[in-house]
Structure 1
Amino acid sequence: MLTDSELQGLARTVADLPPDQERAVANAVADIRAERARLEEERLGDLRSMSDLQVAVLMDVQNLRREAALTLLREAGFVRGAALERAYREGYERGAFDAHTGTGPRPALPDEDDPDYVAARGYDLADLVKGS
């Protein structure tokens, strides 16, 4: 990390560059940021392709602190409670939308506390949790 005076010196250096070199610096910074973003996407893709057991072993091997372990779990795609229910509701609504033939008005979806919806959600979510 640069100190304030080092940062000011770097800014002066960049500001004093001829326009073509200033553009070259800006392009180099953009390329570095793009490469970092690509590597982060690759890391997340690799992490999300792991099984639950592989992620748990990775956490153990890295001996992560609690906050870092929770971050790793979120990045790996682990979901609980509200996030899983929200995903289920979105899938349920999308399924109803896709099943609609397009003739006439689309039927209203049951409320989240509708007994039939609650019963189906509990059954489906239980299966989803067992499968992960």
Structure 2
Amino acid sequence: MLGAGIILLFGILLSQSSFDLPFLNPDTNQQLLFFAALSALIFLLFVALTFVLARNLLKLFAERRLGVLGSKFRTRLVVAGLLLSFLPVIVMFWFAYGLMNRSIDKWFSRPVEEVHADTTAIASLLSNYAAQNAR
């Protein structure tokens, strides 16, 4: 868990240093301290949320194994909640993936098609020239 936290913290720091957004560049030491404290707070809240979620899932698993009354219903509620949480993320991922593929295809398909057509035209002209000179 500590390793995952370190990786997450490294990712946050990398993202903050990678993107050159003017409103995220601190001008004073107070702003720098504020952004560092905000990053630490976000990290700690994320760790706490992960801990609470894991604890509740373990409790739910134990209740289900013991056959506690209402554990099946609670399991369905938790699964529905997780699906409702992850469904927008998955849909946005696939939408962004499709949008990026379409954009890249639109950006680079035209020049490639033009180069292919020009190459085909040059090859046919060259073969015609060679055929005429061979006679």
TM-score by length of 2: 0.33
Structure with larger RCO (C-alpha < 8 A, sep 6+): 1
TM-score by length of 1: 0.34
Task: Flag the structure with larger Rg.
Answer: 2
